[in-house]
Amino acid sequence: MSRGLKLTDILVTIVISIGFGILYKIWGPLYYAVKPLGLHIDQLIYGMWFMAATVAFLIIRKPGVALLAEIAASSGEFLMGSEFGLEVLLYGVVQGLFAEGAIAAFRYKRFDLVVVSLAGISSCVGSLIMDFYKGYIGDLTTWNLTLFIALRIIGSILFTGLFAVSLVKALEATGVTKLVRPSSKEDYEALNQ
């Protein structure tokens, strides 16, 4: 398999990401709807905003895909009138870089739940750095900040790990991903780990 991105890889990644961009735009109001429930329950669903990177990587499996996916998804969300404004683009770049870094640590050779969960946690760390920089969470008390971070990490694992692997596994079963890359027995075994 060629390690570099081909035009087909880029186009498929962007199409996946635009789909996630639409989902991200829909997700914003849901995020604000659960916010009043308190105890940072909204952080459990925050992981959705990291999912484009892991799904695209599980499908394409090449360097640069996670970063491209997050940038394209955040761009799509922005173009549809995100309530977060231009800031969404900066978050997309940072989250994509952090996800790409986690995947690169495994030299792009592992495509399992552990790797994509770590990519999601890395994106989460990137988003937390941005939140601290923007002043969103700097004033929280220690227990409140701990709860905030813990729930965002859990949400990241749920969405970028468990849900992303399940989604790609379902796509693999339909055969739709064979258009991008042929599936092998090892591919299915990697998703079962």
Question: For the chain, how long is the longest CA-to-CA vector?
Answer: 50
- Residue 186: its pLDDT value, please? 67
- Return mean pLDDT, the chain: 90
Tokens at 113, concatenated: 């739940």
pLDDT digits (tens, 9 = 90+) for 77-113: 999 888 888 899 999 999 999 999 999 999 999 989 9
Return the domain boundaries, the chain. Answer: 7-192
Q: How confident is the model at residue 45 (pLDDT cuts 50, 70, 90)?
A: very high
**pLDDT value of residue 4:** 80
pLDDT at 173 over 70: yes
Give tens-digit pLDDT for 49-60.
999 999 999 999
Question: When comparing pLDDT for 187 and 72, which is higher?
Answer: 72
Provide the pLDDT for residue 176. 83
For domain 7-192, which CATH number applies: 1.10.287, 3.20.20, 1.10.1760, 3.40.50?
1.10.1760
Q: What is the mean pLDDT of residues 157-173?
A: 94
Would the pTM count as exceeding 0.75? yes
